[in-house]
Chains A and B, each alone.
Chain A
Amino acid sequence: MSGTLLTPESGPRTRVRPTGTSFVGLVGVELRRLWWRRMAKVVLVAVVAFVGVSAYAAYQQTRPEALAERIEDYSSIVAETTRQNASIPADEKAAQIEACQRDEAATGADTSGGAPVDFRCEQMFDPPSPESFGIVAAERTAITSSIVESGLWIFGFLAFILGASFVAAEFAAGSMGNWLTFEPRRVRVGTSKLVAAGLGGLAVGGLGVGLATLGATLVTTVNRPGADLPVAAAPIVPGDTAAQSLLRVVAIVGLGGLGGAVIGLLLRSTAGVIGLVVGWLVLVEAFVASAFAEGRLQPWFLRTNIEGFVSDGTTYFATRCGVDGCQTVSMPHSYTASWIYLLVVTSLGVTAALLAFRARDVT
């Protein structure tokens, strides 16, 4: 190859020096990079696969033949329980129900705010409901939310990894330094990356929820039971409540993407982020949260708040010890407390990540 790359004649033809780009433009560039990444495709495939498998499971569950089988099982169980219950004396039943109601009252008095927990004492000796045997007509909203409920954690985790590797890869490749020689305003650069990761997370969540809805629609269309099956109608979830809860799932998955980028910006290594997250999930969220202070620390952990946010308030289990020994009680955690918690944690994380990115050397 001949020597000179650039002779004065072959110099740049476009003489105008670039004028820089707006913040939105910068986010656009980051989104493009996010989309080009292999990880984005992996996440995409994983979301599709998860929803596909879940929808298939729902399809199997609600097939008319499967329903017919379960109805048969159910009938024999009902016959059996009725026979057994008939042999228990009426006053013993009453005593058990009363004991149950005392517990219920005690728990209700103990919890502040939140709805009192219904122990369903009165139904103690009723035969199981057909619903608890999965004998319900395939219903779109119910299937969607059951897919999304378990999907939330999968989608959130995928978005988190996507966001974390999106930022950490730049440090790994060393291209962050190169990038900063094109746009040296660190806070602007950092923010654009966080925003892009958050939007990427929203896209993951949106895709997951969208596919779940689609899958549920397909399942209910295919598995509409014939009139010959005595199937209870599914409990009707009000449409806007369902939609709201789906939107909140999308928001949480978006937060997952943002959170990944925040941690990525702080740790600068994908392996480090994954180590931290797995350690956190296993050790802290699963163990520490319930092992200490009789489980009363749980409102301060992510899991409880994510559940509280998505499900419009949630409950967690704590151990309550009284004179008559210890028992597990269910404690309410409100929606409001959940979103405030998530907002505060997110703001702190974003601020810390941007400050650290502004201050630290990039080599």
Chain B
Amino acid sequence: MDVAVRTVNLRKTYLSRGSRRVAVGGLTMSVPHGGVHGFLGPNGSGKTTTIRMLLGLIRADSGTAEVFGEEVPRRLPHVIDRVGAIVESPKFFPTFTARQNLALLAGAIGSPAARVDEVLEATHLRDRGRDRYAGFSLGMKQRLAIAATLLKDPDLLIFDEPTNGLDPAGIREVRDTMRSLGAQGKTVLVSSHILAEVEQVADTVSIIGHGSLLAEGNVRDILGGSGVSQVRVGVASPDRAQQVLEAAGFALTRDGQHLLVGTDDPSAITRALAGHGLYVAELVPVRPDLESAFLALTADEGLGSESDRLAGGHAPGGAS
């Protein structure tokens, strides 16, 4: 299989106040080659820890990981030039200018000096190149971090919660950047605790809770697999419509004057009701989203308390 990233039984525990705390507990996941892959999980579920292990910043207790078929961290020097990453938040020297920060990184990988200008240009930071990093807005910091990853012209980009703290315009920018990188054939691994964000940009997704995998696959499959699609039906006489539809074998629930009917084919509802002289005034598919899928998954795992913290569709700029 063509995978960009694979982990098998990856495990990391931290010693905190004398007791071992499992940050990542045997995570097995794979990220397909090309496109945007969401890495979704509530705060504290081990996303950042996993990313740090992939980058060789922290050592796994056990398990294996590979990037582009190379075992990491052992073979990391062989693939690092193909990987650009922003872990947690952009981190540069505050008193250095944007250009200085990039020049150092370019020097570390033997990138030509002209490349610094190119990536500043590409991230709309050319005019701010001589400004100190400390004076940058969060959005500019994020762009500079993206510029740094581009110094390498990477095939895999790892963004760890890239929209945290950004305003709606900044979120849109980052999202579009990820989409565009994915469209260029690069693999983008983006972690988030915000469902709406992943849902909007990702082609595929891995969902984790408490450091292990809950679900993985196409965003569409996972949404579909979470239960039957529902349609919200409005009719003049809901009681009668309920009888008719139940008789026709539909599963439904009553929601005030509306009916929530489970079906994959909304036209079947129209047909059934019309056959009894009932005409549909309103027919709205209720799209199951990643949030309900996530809630279903985490409920199974007894992770309800964690899922409470998920910022579902309430992310700033999340709806579109």
Asked if B114 and A11 sit within 8 Å, CB to CB, the answer is no
Our count of residue pairs bridging A and B at CB distance below 8 angstroms stands at 146
| Total residues of chain B contacting the partner, CB 8 A | 60
Q: Which of A7-24 contact B (CB under 8 A)?
A: 7-8, 10-15, 17-21
Partner of A181, one of B80, B106, B172, B176: B80
Asked if B109 and A21 sit within 8 Å, CB to CB, the answer is yes
Asked if A175 and B91 sit within 8 Å, CB to CB, the answer is yes
Asked if A179 and B108 sit within 8 Å, CB to CB, the answer is yes
Asked if A29 and B177 sit within 8 Å, CB to CB, the answer is no
With A and B bound together, what is the CA distance between A28 and B173 in angstroms? 35
Instruction: Tell me whether A5 is interfacial, beta carbon within 8 Å.
Output: yes
User: Which residue of chain B has its CB nearest to the CB of A13?
Assistant: B118
Chain A residues contacting B179 (CB-CB under 8 Å) are: 4
Instruction: Tell me whether B150 is interfacial, beta carbon within 8 Å.
Output: yes
With A and B bound together, what is the CA distance between A1 and B91 in angstroms? 24
> A8-B180, A17-B153 given as contacts; is B105 within 8 A of A184 (CB)?
no
Asked if A182 and B183 sit within 8 Å, CB to CB, the answer is no
Most chain B CB within a 10 A radius of its CB, from A1, A178, A181: A181
Instruction: Tell me whether A237 is interfacial, beta carbon within 8 Å.
Output: no
Asked if A5 and B176 sit within 8 Å, CB to CB, the answer is yes
Instruction: Tell me whether B169 is interfacial, beta carbon within 8 Å.
Output: yes
Asked if B109 and A182 sit within 8 Å, CB to CB, the answer is yes
Segment at the interface with B among A30-38, A79-87, A138-146:
A30-38
- Measured between C-beta atoms, what is the minimum distance from A174 to chain B in Å? 4
Complex A-B, nearest 3 residue pairs according to Cβ-Cβ distance, in ascending order: A174-B91, A29-B107, A21-B110
Q: List 24 A-B contacts (CB under 8 A).
A: A4-B176, A5-B123, A6-B180, A8-B180, A14-B115, A14-B118, A17-B153, A18-B110, A18-B112, A25-B107, A28-B107, A32-B104, A36-B96, A173-B93, A177-B55, A178-B87, A178-B105, A179-B108, A181-B83, A181-B84, A182-B108, A182-B152, A362-B58, A363-B58
> A3-B176, A14-B115 given as contacts; is B93 within 8 A of A184 (CB)?
no
Asked if A6 and B122 sit within 8 Å, CB to CB, the answer is yes
Instruction: Tell me whether B92 is interfacial, beta carbon within 8 Å.
Output: yes
Chain A residues contacting B56 (CB-CB under 8 Å) are: 180, 184
- Measured between C-beta atoms, what is the minimum distance from B127 to chain A in Å? 12
Instruction: Tell me whether A118 is interfacial, beta carbon within 8 Å.
Output: no
With A and B bound together, what is the CA distance between A43 and B171 in angstroms? 42
Q: Which of B51-103 contact A (CB under 8 A)?
A: 52, 55-59, 73, 76-77, 80-85, 87, 89, 91-96, 100, 103
Asked if A178 and B91 sit within 8 Å, CB to CB, the answer is yes
Asked if B92 and A5 sit within 8 Å, CB to CB, the answer is no
- Measured between C-beta atoms, what is the minimum distance from B159 to chain A in Å? 12
Asked if A4 and B173 sit within 8 Å, CB to CB, the answer is yes
- Measured between C-beta atoms, what is the minimum distance from A58 to chain B in Å? 36
Partner of B152, one of A3, A17, A179: A17
Instruction: Tell me whether A352 is interfacial, beta carbon within 8 Å.
Output: no
Which residues of A line the B interface, CB within 8 A?
1, 3-8, 10-15, 17-21, 25-26, 28-29, 32-33, 36-38, 169-170, 173-175, 177-185, 359, 361-363
Chain A residues contacting B237 (CB-CB under 8 Å) are: none
Chain B residues contacting A175 (CB-CB under 8 Å) are: 91-93
With A and B bound together, what is the CA distance between A185 and B123 in angstroms? 29
Instruction: Tell me whether B253 is interfacial, beta carbon within 8 Å.
Output: no
Partner of A18, one of B109, B122, B175, B184: B109
With A and B bound together, what is the CA distance between A362 and B81 in angstroms? 19
With A and B bound together, what is the CA distance between A178 and B176 in angstroms? 23
User: Which residue of chain B has its CB nearest to the CB of A185?
Assistant: B77
With A and B bound together, what is the CA distance between A17 and B124 in angstroms? 22
With A and B bound together, what is the CA distance between A186 and B58 in angstroms? 12
Instruction: Tell me whether B241 is interfacial, beta carbon within 8 Å.
Output: no
Chain A residues contacting B57 (CB-CB under 8 Å) are: 177, 180-181, 361-363
Asked if B173 and A5 sit within 8 Å, CB to CB, the answer is yes
> A12-B118, A12-B119, A184-B73 given as contacts; is B173 within 8 A of A1 (CB)?
yes
Instruction: Tell me whether B111 is interfacial, beta carbon within 8 Å.
Output: yes
Query: C-beta contact mask, B158-200 vs A, less than 8 Å → 1, else 0?
Result: 0000000000010011011101110110000000000000000
- Measured between C-beta atoms, what is the minimum distance from A272 to chain B in Å? 19
With A and B bound together, what is the CA distance between A180 and B92 in angstroms? 13
Chain B residues contacting A15 (CB-CB under 8 Å) are: 153
> A174-B91, A182-B105 given as contacts; is B110 within 8 A of A4 (CB)?
no
Asked if B107 and A1 sit within 8 Å, CB to CB, the answer is no
Asked if B91 and A180 sit within 8 Å, CB to CB, the answer is no
User: Which residue of chain A has its CB nearest to the CB of B82?
Assistant: A17
- Measured between C-beta atoms, what is the minimum distance from A99 to chain B in Å? 64
> A5-B143, A17-B152, A180-B55 given as contacts; is B111 within 8 A of A38 (CB)?
no
Chain B residues contacting A173 (CB-CB under 8 Å) are: 91-94
With A and B bound together, what is the CA distance between A33 and B81 in angstroms? 22
> A4-B176, A178-B148 given as contacts; is B112 within 8 A of A14 (CB)?
yes
Asked if B55 and A12 sit within 8 Å, CB to CB, the answer is no
Chain B residues contacting A36 (CB-CB under 8 Å) are: 96, 100
Instruction: Tell me whether B146 is interfacial, beta carbon within 8 Å.
Output: yes
With A and B bound together, what is the CA distance between A192 and B21 in angstroms? 35
- Measured between C-beta atoms, what is the minimum distance from B299 to chain A in Å? 32
Chain A residues contacting B111 (CB-CB under 8 Å) are: 18
With A and B bound together, what is the CA distance between A19 and B82 in angstroms? 11
- Measured between C-beta atoms, what is the minimum distance from A300 to chain B in Å? 35
17 extra A-B contacts, CB within 8 A, seeds A18-B111, A184-B56, A184-B76 = A3-B176, A4-B176, A4-B179, A5-B146, A6-B181, A11-B184, A12-B119, A14-B112, A17-B81, A18-B151, A19-B110, A20-B81, A21-B108, A25-B107, A177-B55, A179-B108, A182-B80
